[in-house]
Amino acid sequence: SKKLTISTIKKSKGVRPLVMITAYDALFAKLLEPSADMILVGDSLNMSFAGRSDTISTTLEQMLYHTNAVCMGAKNSFVICDMPFGTYTCKERALDNAIKVFQNTQADCVKIEGGADKAEIIKHLTDNGIAVCGHIGLLPQSVRSEGGYKVKGKTANEREQLLRDAKAVECAGAFCMVIEGTKADVAKEIAQSVSIPVIGIGAGAEVDGQVLVFSDMLGLFEEFTPKFVKKYLDGATLVKNALKEYADEVVSRKFPKEEHTY
């Protein structure tokens, strides 16, 4: 399949929903590439890959390493690199760090968490040739200051703030945005109120596409399963059963057989 561009992604709005999935390494990126429009190297790799309990401690170095791996595995995919916590605290810092992403990887854009409060930063990046995917609603990088993961859009104030955020992200020049952990009716209204694609995760069906963390949807991540995750594979059970069979065959000397032997 042909690699999407910023312009084909924008034009897909209203035509067909976009398919986004995370990947953190070349092996999985290559497996996921045929069915994905966009591959997100999410800072969620700090949990799924590095075993930490949240995304706060993800570093830019980690993002560069994993983004390089994903780009090597999925050469025909549009790749998004998450800007980790603390790397875009002001527009100058954000541009310096986004330039590092562009100079050291083949990523097509960066993703930044935040709405109206990040508009100036998003504009500074897009003005300087760095495409930006926004991320509004529930913001995992704010989990510590918010005291947990809280669904957004439950009150009239939150709904209005989210609408302002979406507009601000669009006006700042983002070509698309993720909306996470938001009431479906509010996410729908947001998707209808902007002209760029709004990709949902835990934001209902009435948006312009969906994104899931690959290790969640393949059933490989067992620590917890958010309500919005559908497991398309019972990966953990399949892997454990395969390993058990291997271990049993090693112990019983059933493996290796003649055909595996020089």
Residue ranges of the annotated binding site for 3-methyl-2-oxobutanoate are 43-44, 82, 111
Q: How many residues bind ligand KIV (CB under 6 A)?
A: 11
Write the DSSP assignment of 185-226 as a string of letters: HHHHHHHHH-SS-EEEESS-SSSSEEEE-HHHHTT---S---
Piece of the chain touching Na ion by CB under 5 A; list 34-42, 57-65, 162-170, 242-250: 34-42
Piece of the chain touching Na ion by CB under 5 A; list 7-15, 81-89, 156-164, 197-205: 81-89
CA distance 141 to 111: 12
Catalytic position from the list 180, 189, 206, 245 = 180
Piece of the chain touching ligand KIV by CB under 6 A; list 37-45, 86-94, 218-226, 252-260: 37-45
CA distance 111 to 202: 18
Binding residues for Mg(2+): 43, 82, 113
Look up residue 83 and give its two tokens. 């800007």
> Residues 158-197 vs ligand KIV: string with x where CB under 6 A?
--------------------x-x-----------------
CA distance 195 to 128: 22
Residue 180 bears catalytic tag = yes
- In angstroms, what is the minimal distance from the CB of 84 to Na ion? 8
Write the DSSP assignment of 80-114 as a string of letters: EEEPPTTS-SSHHHHHHHHHHHHHHS--SEEEEEB
List helix spans (H) across 119-202.
119-127, 143-146, 156-171, 184-193
Residue 198 site contact among ligand KIV, Na ion, none (CB < 5 to 8 Å, cut-off depends on kind): none
CA distance 201 to 228: 7
Per CB under 6 A, contacts with ligand KIV among 3-32 are 22
Position among 33, 38, 44, 207 found at the interface with ligand KIV (CB under 6 A) = 44
Strand 38-41, strand 78-82: pairing: parallel
42 binds ligand KIV (CB under 6 A): yes
* Interface residue list for ligand KIV (CB under 6 A): 22, 40, 42-44, 82, 178, 180, 201, 211, 213
Instruction: Indicate which residues carry an active-site annotation.
Output: 180
